[in-house]
Structure 1
């Protein structure tokens, strides 16, 4: 068995009146992610980590923000397609460890639903998806509530 590790990172600017999608669920807030798709930073970071681990470039290569068909797309669809790509190359997911950096709103009560949705999209056990949330103690663009960031590390294996 061959084991590989991948790391993903994504960031989006926050804007008034935009929808905030994180981990496949809509989060109620006055600000949301600005992006070509729905701006789900957690899913984008996970996609990048999976593609990187499989040495298949990155999310922008497979799903460019210049593609008009992807304007406003649900990031769960991008994740589903990413899973298809890595599985086509013989990889399965071992586990995912991720962190969302956002000053407000607090996410701890929403994490179980994010895990449920992501497990369903990726067809993996919920126990194999760790999601943590943090602030940046009011420092930087996240702390100033100008943006949101997400980090993901994945373990994939090939039999």
Structure 2
């Protein structure tokens, strides 16, 4: 359980680092310091092997997958075959991505209710904008209420169910 919590925290930091650089959002100094200090030990050596291509920090994404693979390798000790462990790691990696997006959407909803002018609110909005922009084109405002956050969470939950069904077939 402790290994899983540590892996999830580190994997989340690596995925956040990848997403911030992919959409070119400058994080507040506290978030940047936390994210980079937590993940630099893995990302810097990986960058020597996997350089950034197309403006994406592939080392952060691959690092997150390596962390989930390492955390999932405990199943190998339980008698699972290597391909089964690899598929379980891939499923868990994709689940981390979906849960990360859901968490960002929930944080944005909380900010909008409690304090829309909080120092981190613009940063979280910028992280969510690539997800919400296409939905906002389709889902109109209801009065002054923006339902795109709710629609995005529902779509992510559907993606999670589909992912679970795809990997349950194995």
TM-score normalised by L of structure 1: 0.27
Q: Which has the higher strand share?
A: 1
Q: Which has the higher helix share?
A: 2
**Which structure has more RCO (C-alpha within 8 Å, separation ≥ 6)?**
1
- Larger of the two Rg values belongs to structure: 2
